[in-house]
């Protein structure tokens, strides 16, 4: 009879596995409720058994495995950045659980990558300057997870510096998204293979993701401010509507409505999570605005996605632009354009819109912003 190559787990091993499973159980249970994941519960974990037998530990491990396979990285990202359930200690438990997995799939790698960036973002000082977020700083922050790390950096990690430098030179969100920069970051992560899990590599990729978040957040707010200022300039010239079909709005979208939508985006973009759809709309809205102002297409290339008209939307479905209008508390109908001489000034209407000159400010927690990576969504981390 062939002997098993793996020795039976010791009582200490079983105790450690059970303790870890009990800490992870409330996190994965909440994920299951949030995303309606149908997995049979683990009875002993639900009951909070203190000293289970080996079979119960094995069942708990299988439950965690089943749950993790059903939760995508985009769901984990959305949940962790919109929920207060998970403290930094919970992120440590998640990372350590995933690091212990064998083999490690691309999904596991991406989850580890995100979780390390999220953990460092939570524990890093809010006033941490980019130039002070060096490898030593990040390694110190990740010490509870990785332990002491030798900071001697292999040359194959050098492309991360070049990608980050290219991102910092971008002057618009469009330039970052369509300049191939994010693809270079993804390529570096994929080409790392198993070397990705070397401690120094985990530190380097965490630093890269943390600083890329800051670039992404800064450009979003600069684009939003650009749009608000441009709307104000057009309004001063007596313009009331602009053609925003490329941004999935109407052919004659009222400026007063666009301003209200942008104000709602200011709130959305200060949250820690946002889907990629408003980002695409922001990029295309900026391009529409530049066209209306007669300026050359901005720094970068405008999104090439074709305008989506109402006839393209199945009955009963609303366009993303309609959803954005609803979020801003604005009706979905398109107002007719009035002659400039008879149009009331938008700021003197019964329901005045917020001041266009009020710029979006980047909050102290800017580095904690993230983008979903559901299909067709953009993410600096993916």
Question: Which of 89, 123, 157 marks a domain boundary?
Answer: 123
Inside any domain, residue 247: yes
Tell whether 117 and 224 lie within a shared domain. Answer: no
Within a domain: 273: yes
The answer to the question of residue 136 being in a domain is no
In a domain, 332, yes or no: yes
Residue 118 and residue 230 in one domain: no
111 and 239 share one domain: no
Question: Is residue 238 located within the same domain as residue 352?
Answer: yes
- 234 in the same domain as 103: no
Q: Tell me the per-residue pLDDT of 189-215, one tens digit each, with 9 for 90 and over.
A: 999 999 999 999 999 999 999 999 999
Q: What is the pLDDT of residue 45?
A: 93
CA distances to 183, 326, 355, 376 from 318, in Å: 31, 10, 28, 18
Distances 192 to 195, 198, 285 between C-alpha atoms, Å: 5, 10, 37
C-alpha to C-alpha distance for 173 and 283, rounded to whole angstroms: 7
Question: Does any domain span residue 57?
Answer: yes
Q: Last residue of some domain: 63, 93, 123?
A: 123
pLDDT of residue 269: 66
Q: Domain check: are 224 and 113 in the same one?
A: no
- Domain that includes residue 34, residue range: 11-123
Confidence (pLDDT) at 271: 52
Q: By three-state DSSP, how is residue 172 classified?
A: coil
DSSP secondary structure of 252-289: TEEHHHHHHHHHHHHHHHHSSEE-HHHHHHHHHHHHHH
The pLDDT score that the predictor gives to residue 114 is 95
Task: Give yes or no: residues 102 and 234 share one domain.
Answer: no
Do 231 and 361 reside in the same domain of the chain? yes
> Is position 81 within any domain?
yes
* Overall number of domains in the chain: 2
Q: Is residue 153 part of a domain?
A: no
Q: Are residues 116 and 224 in the same domain?
A: no
Per-residue confidence (pLDDT) for residue 33, from 0 to 100: 92
One pLDDT digit (tens) per residue for the chain, 382 residues: 444 445 678 888 889 999 999 999 999 999 999 999 998 999 999 999 888 899 999 999 999 999 999 999 999 988 887 777 789 999 999 999 999 999 999 999 999 999 999 999 999 998 999 999 999 999 999 999 999 999 999 999 999 999 999 999 999 989 988 888 989 999 999 999 999 999 999 999 999 999 999 998 899 889 999 999 999 999 999 999 999 999 889 999 999 999 999 888 877 665 544 445 677 888 999 999 999 998 876 544 343 433 333 333 333 333 444 544 444 444 433 333 333 333 333 333 333 333 333 444 443 333 333 333 333 344 545 4
How far is CA 7 from each of CA 4, 10, 151, rounded to the nearest angstrom?
7, 9, 35
Query: What pLDDT sits at residue 169?
Result: 94
Query: What CA–CA distances, in Å, run from 48 to 44, 56, 92, 164?
Result: 6, 11, 21, 46
| Sign of the CA dihedral with 374 first, then 375, 380, and 382 last | positive
| Same domain flag for 92 and 228 | no
Phi and psi at residue 273, to the nearest 5°: -140, 140
Domain boundary among 107, 123, 139: 123
Of 276, 131, 154, the C-alpha closest to 207 is 131
Find the radius of gyration of the CA atoms of the chain: 24
182 domain residue, yes or no: no
Q: Are strands 241-242 and 370-371 parallel, antiparallel or unpaired?
A: unpaired
């Amino acid at each position: 009879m062939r002997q098993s190559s793996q020795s039976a787990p010791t009582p200490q091993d079983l105790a450690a596995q059970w303790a870890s499973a009990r800490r992870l159980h409330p996190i994965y249970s909440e994920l299951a409720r949030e995303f309606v994941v149908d997995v049979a519960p683990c009875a002993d974990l639900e009951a909070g058994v203190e000293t289970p037998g080996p079979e119960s530990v094995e069942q708990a491990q299988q439950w965690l495995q089943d749950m993790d396979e059903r939760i995508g990285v985009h769901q984990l990202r959305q949940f962790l950045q919109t929920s207060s359930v998970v403290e930094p200690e919970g992120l440590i438990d998640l990372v350590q659980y995933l690091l212990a997995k064998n083999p490690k799939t691309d999904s596991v790698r991406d989850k580890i990558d995100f979780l390390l960036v999220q953990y460092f973002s939570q524990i890093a000082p809010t006033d941490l300057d980019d130039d002070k977020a060096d490898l030593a700083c990040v390694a110190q922050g990740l010490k509870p997870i990785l332990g002491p790390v030798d900071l001697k950096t292999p040359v194959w990690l050098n492309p991360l510096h070049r990608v980050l430098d290219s991102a910092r030179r971008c002057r618009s969100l469009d330039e970052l998204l369509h300049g191939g920069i994010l693809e270079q970051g993804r390529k570096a992560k994929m080409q790392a293979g198993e070397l990705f899990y070397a401690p120094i590599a985990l530190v380097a990729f965490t630093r890269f993701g943390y600083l890329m978040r800051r670039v992404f957040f800064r450009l979003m707010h600069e684009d939003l401010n650009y749009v608000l200022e441009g709307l104000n300039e057009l309004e001063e010239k007596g313009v009331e509507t602009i053609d925003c079909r490329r941004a999935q709005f109407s052919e004659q979208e009222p400026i007063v409505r666009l301003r209200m939508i942008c104000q709602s985006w200011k709130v959305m973009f200060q949250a820690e999570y946002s889907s990629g759809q408003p980002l695409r709309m922001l990029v295309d809205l900026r391009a529409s605005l530049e066209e209306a102002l007669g300026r050359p297409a901005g720094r970068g290339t405008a999104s090439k996605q074709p305008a989506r008209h109402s006839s393209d939307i199945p009955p009963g479905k609303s366009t993303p632009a309609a959803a954005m209008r609803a979020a801003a508390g604005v009706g979905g109908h398109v107002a007719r354009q009035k002659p400039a001489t008879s149009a009331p000034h938008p700021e003197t209407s019964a329901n005045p819109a917020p001041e266009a000159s009020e710029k979006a400010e980047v909050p102290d927690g800017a580095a904690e912003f993230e983008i979903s990576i559901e299909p067709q969504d953009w993410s600096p981390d993916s």
